[in-house]
Every structure is written in structure tokens, then in C-alpha cells.
Amino acid sequence: MEFEIKAKDGALPCEVTIDEDNGRYMLRNADTTGEFFETPTELRDWIQANWNPNRFEDPNQFELLISELNSYT
């Protein structure tokens, strides 16, 4: 699963990647910094703790991302 969401404060969209086949669970912030995780659950928990809907141009996209992550984990 790959998901892009446009932050208000960056030129590039934030990206969330869950690649079960290759064991890659990661995200890229709007400032191009990134985080890597051992499991999809850790990825979801980090996003919920560090991102919020108001950070994004379309807050509904954030809610959709969380919903998809919850469905996946």
C-alpha cells in the first residue's frame, strides 16, 4: 500500500508505504525526512501520535489514511 497526502507546509507530499512482501514500513514527511518501522502497527501509531488532520490541505485525506491503516493492521 502506498499513500500520498499533501501537507500545508511542504512542496512534496507526505508518503506512507507498507510493503509487506519486502518488509518495508516507512513514511516520508513533507520536508523529506523519513521514519522506518518494524511493523505496520508501529507506523500507524507513529502517524497518530505525530500527525494531525489540520496539518494537511485536505483533512479528510488524513482520516482516510488512518482508516486504511486501521483496516490493514
Query: What is the structure's pLDDT at 5?
Result: 96
Query: What is the structure's pLDDT at 60?
Result: 96
Going from N- to C-terminal start, the domains of the chain cover: 2-72
Query: What is the structure's pLDDT at 24?
Result: 94
Tens digit of pLDDT at every position of the chain (73 positions): 899 999 998 889 999 999 999 999 999 999 999 999 999 999 999 999 999 999 999 999 999 999 999 988 7
3-state secondary structure of 73: coil
What is the C-alpha to C-alpha distance for residues 2 and 19, in angstroms, rounded to an integer? 8
Written as nine digits, the cell of 1 is: 500500500
Q: How much is the pTM?
A: 0.90
Query: What is the structure's pLDDT at 10?
Result: 87
What is the C-alpha to C-alpha distance for residues 68 and 71, in angstroms, rounded to an integer? 5
